[in-house]
Amino acid sequence: MLGELEYGPEDPTVLYGDNQASIVIALNPVANTRSKQIDIRFHYVRDLVERESIRIEHVPSLSMAADGLTKH
């Protein structure tokens, strides 16, 4: 809705993650034998990356501030 009002973000939204395998799958538009079991509906993130709506960056687990709140 904000995009239609021309009030959307100028840069892609950055998503930080520590799972390198999921980042590779999201950034690679080619399906391979390792990811063929993933249902097509879960490729939404890949589509957002292609449209440059989001950008994914790797952050090591130890650097994630929220992890301390989720692990015991």
pLDDT tens-place string over residues 45-67: 888 899 999 999 998 887 877 66
Q: Please report the pLDDT score of residue 44 as a whole number.
A: 85
Q: Is the pLDDT of residue 2 over 80?
A: no
Q: Is the pLDDT of residue 8 over 90?
A: no
Q: Please report the pLDDT score of residue 26 as a whole number.
A: 82
pTM for the complete prediction?
0.63
CA torsion 14→19→24→27, rounded to 10°?
-20
CA torsion 24→30→36→37, rounded to 10°?
50
- The Cα–Cα gap between 35 and 18 comes to 18
Q: Please report the pLDDT score of residue 69 as a whole number.
A: 64
The phi, psi pair for 7, rounded to 5°, reads: -125, 20
